[in-house]
Amino acid sequence: MKFELSAFADEAGGELDEQISALTENGIRFLEIRGVDGGNISDITADKAKEIRRRLDGEGISVRSLGSPYGKIGINDDFEPHLDKFKYGLELSHILGAGHIRLFSFYVPKGEAEIYRDEVMERLEKFTLAAKDSGIILCHENEKGIYGDTAERCEDIHKAFPSIKAVFDPANFIQCGEDTERAWDMLCPYVEYLHIKDALADGKVVPAGKGVGNIPYILSQYKGKILTVEPHLSVFDGLDRLEQGRKTNMDEYSYPSPRAAFDAAVNALKELL
């Protein structure tokens, strides 16, 4: 199986030039675009998106997915402005040439996920209706603290909305106390692509194959082609925000720069492959 590698290149550097350099020098032709030139991809203007597209096209790089924050708000937060932002994200995806949008299933109070299930499903349905006939594939990522943080609740989402595919993130499952092999066996029919991110049993993120994420097993079973490297191996612009203010402390696997951490993450995956 020949895989197609993409990456969150904002972990190599915040500026687009830095991201292009990291991708090309690592032989990666696809980008899951998230942070660029000091802002989140969901906040850029249409003109900025066109500029990014021109620069990436000139380097032979394609945007695989919009690494968006859609669905990464509290379940009790006002949804309508967020839905409007999502609809704008569909426009950005078309401009950038992205065929996928990564999204989430809303932060819920700890221990109360089932109480908010109906509200979560209503909001996800509005996402799917907005994206209908857009040609954009919506992909739900399992994530700490949201409704879809366990394999069972992720499966619930995919059974309710067959058009929503899965982004399988092993490290996020580990950080939720889930066994990744079991989670994979449950969710593999729904998986559109993988986030390559491994972790130790205590939740600390490490290079692929160095943790308990069962990544070699998952790769051996995976029938798709898309792999997105998401290093999280050192602090980079926006990490505090992504982790809701929690510091990610890397001891054994710490690197002198974001670019060094990015290269290490890519090389670890290539070694596994």
Q: What is the CATH number of the domain that holds 190?
A: 3.20.20.150
The whole-model pTM stands at 0.92
pLDDT tops 50 at residue 83: yes
Query: For position 2, what pLDDT does the model report?
Result: 85
pLDDT, tens only, 112-124: 999 999 999 999 9
- Band of pLDDT at residue 253, cut at 50, 70 and 90: confident
- Band of pLDDT at residue 250, cut at 50, 70 and 90: very low
Q: Which range of residues forms the domain containing residue 156? A: 4-272
Domain count, the chain: 1
pLDDT tops 50 at residue 76: yes
Of 7-16, 175-184, 253-262, the range with the lowest mean pLDDT is 253-262
Q: How is residue 192 written in tokens?
A: 């559109």
pLDDT, tens only, 155-178: 999 999 999 999 999 999 999 999
